[in-house]
Structure 1
Amino acid sequence: MATKQVNLTVIYDLNCPFSFIGQKEISSAIDEVTKTYNTLHFQVEYRPYVLHPSIKPDQPQDRTAHCIQTYGDEKASACLKKFKERGRDVGLEISEGGILVNTDRAHRLAYRAWKKGGQSLQQTVISNLFQALIVNHKDISNINILSEIAEASCLMSKDQAITYLNSDDDVQVVEDQIEEARKGGISGVPVVIIEGRWAISGGQTRDVYLQIFKKLAGCKGFINSTCSPESTAKALSAKIVA
């Protein structure tokens, strides 16, 4: 039987803990569904979004103070607590504090990883960037820190990363992808786009993704590409927003 590829585009920002948690939830759901539907193959591409464009490189802000200023004490406390609890559910130790940073340079590294090594290398780089910022509270707008992550991820050497990040390489394409997301109506992340047709918004759980992927795979004829868009759409969970 022919393999069917499902293309997922994940719009994310490294400042967003739910984007980090979502990476784990999506990967877990894909691993589970492909055990049953072994002809199903997923290609996952991460594309950038910037939640806090006013933050300057090398000038991190306190996450807790920002949340309190934006949402007030009570809502900020509940939100930060939820980050910690959801993180623990997927094996991540996310503290309630931390920092917010400019993510432009880090997004360029992630894009370069996609160009060089596709899904596998991009996932590695993004995981390491998330770990550095969300768990270890490192300023991933800093070129020296980014160069260490690039080398540890086998993307490029420290010296190569410093040269790359001090250049204009990929600046425009990353800015264009961010603008494309904004023009597409995206104002928050994560957003997972399936086959360029359907979007799942918000920090969904593994079970939600698993339900959707199973319904896609189980739609008659989907694996051999004969399923119509209309019947596929009916098979999807109500969590998907067209």
Structure 2
Amino acid sequence: MNVTIDIVSDIVCPWCFIGKHRLTQAVALVARKQPDTHFQRNWLPYFLNPNTPPEGEPYRAFLEAKFGGPAPVAQLQRDVTEAGREAGVAFDFERIVTRPNTLRAHRLLYRAQSIGHRPAEVDALAERLFVAHFQRGEDIGDVATLADIAAECGDRKDDVIGYLESDEGAQQVKSLVGKVGGLGVSGVPFFIIQRRLTVSGAQSGEVLAAAITQAMQ
């Protein structure tokens, strides 16, 4: 059986990184019981802060302004770190300098899917983008950085640079963001299974597996 899972996320969302890994756990749980199941994951864009400047903004200052100072941010990061540890995800918030505008990163994922990269390759690219931001502190709003990441994932660096330096794919990504909002999505991660059952938030692998099983029936 073929199962389609649309993943609505933003690369600067730590819970989306955790949700990605919990979805992997869920897929493994379902595949263990139904090994003939084939999964198709599609990545859909979302902007946690659509007003982020094109060049990005200072990461720590943004968080402290949003959450009310250093103490709430520290507590939030402790909570995320603990949840990440349970999901097999490590965070290194101290390395993050810039909170990027993620339009280019979303365009990169959109391009990989639209030109027919294999699902495993797209998944690897998404993982590498999360790793770049949350573990390496790389600026995923920067064209050269994104081109290097794409090249690591098997793409042609020059092709990616040309694509990102143009406006190609930008309108399509913005249109997808609008369509996702039209579905009522107001937070991420958000999973749409078989185009009919939805799960909001970085739920556990067991909860996601149960939702997948229900959608398959």
Q: Percent identity?
A: 29
How far the C-alpha of 1:207 sits from its partner, in A, is 2.0
Distance of 1:41 and 1:57 partners within structure 2: 38
TM-score (norm 2): 0.91
Change (3 A) 1:135 1:196: same
The answer to whether residue 210 in structure 2 is matched with residue 211 in structure 1 is: yes
Distance in structure 1 (CA, Å) of the matches to 2:85 and 2:149: 24
CA drift of 1:212 comes to: 2.3
Q: State the superposition RMSD in angstroms.
A: 1.7
Letter of the aligned partner of 1:150 in structure 2? A
The one-letter amino acid of 1:21's match is I
2:82 counterpart residue number: 85
CA distance in 2, matches of 1:162, 1:198: 37
**Partner residue of 1:50?**
47
**1:91-146 residue CA offsets vs partner (Å, 9 max, x unmatched):** 22203443421000010110111122142221111111110011111110000101
- Kindly indicate whether the alpha-carbon contact (under 8 Å) linking 1:94 and 1:134 is maintained by their aligned counterparts in 2: yes
CA offsets 1:41-64 (integer angstroms, 9 cap, x no match): 2211011001111212333321x4
- Give the Cα–Cα distance (whole angstroms) in 2 for the partners of residues 77 and 142 of structure 1: 27
Equivalent residue number for residue 31 of structure 1: 28
Q: Which residue of 2 is the match for residue 177 of structure 1?
A: 176
* Structure with larger Rg: 1
Which residues of structure 2 form unaligned runs of 5+?
A: none
Alignment of 1:107-186 (within 5 A): 107-115=106-114, 116-155=116-155, 157-186=156-185
Residue 14 of structure 1 aligns to a residue in which SS? coil
Q: CA deviation at 1:176?
A: 0.6
Distance (whole Å) between structure 1 residues aligned to residue 203 and residue 108 of structure 2: 26
Q: Quick check: 1:11 aligned with 2:13? A: no
Q: CA offsets per residue over residues 159-210 of structure 1, 9 Å max, x none?
A: 2111110112211111110111122221211000112212111121212112
Structure 2 CA distance, aligned partners of 1:20 and 1:93? 10
* Structure 2: distance between partners of 1:201 and 1:65: 28
Please give the TM-score of this superposition, normalised by the length of structure 1: 0.82
What 5-or-longer segments of structure 1 have no aligned partner?
Answer: 223-242
2:66 corresponds in structure 1 to 70
Please state how far the C-alpha of 1:79 moved relative to its aligned partner.
1.7
* Aligned length, in residue pairs: 213
Off by >4 Å, runs of 4+ in structure 1: none
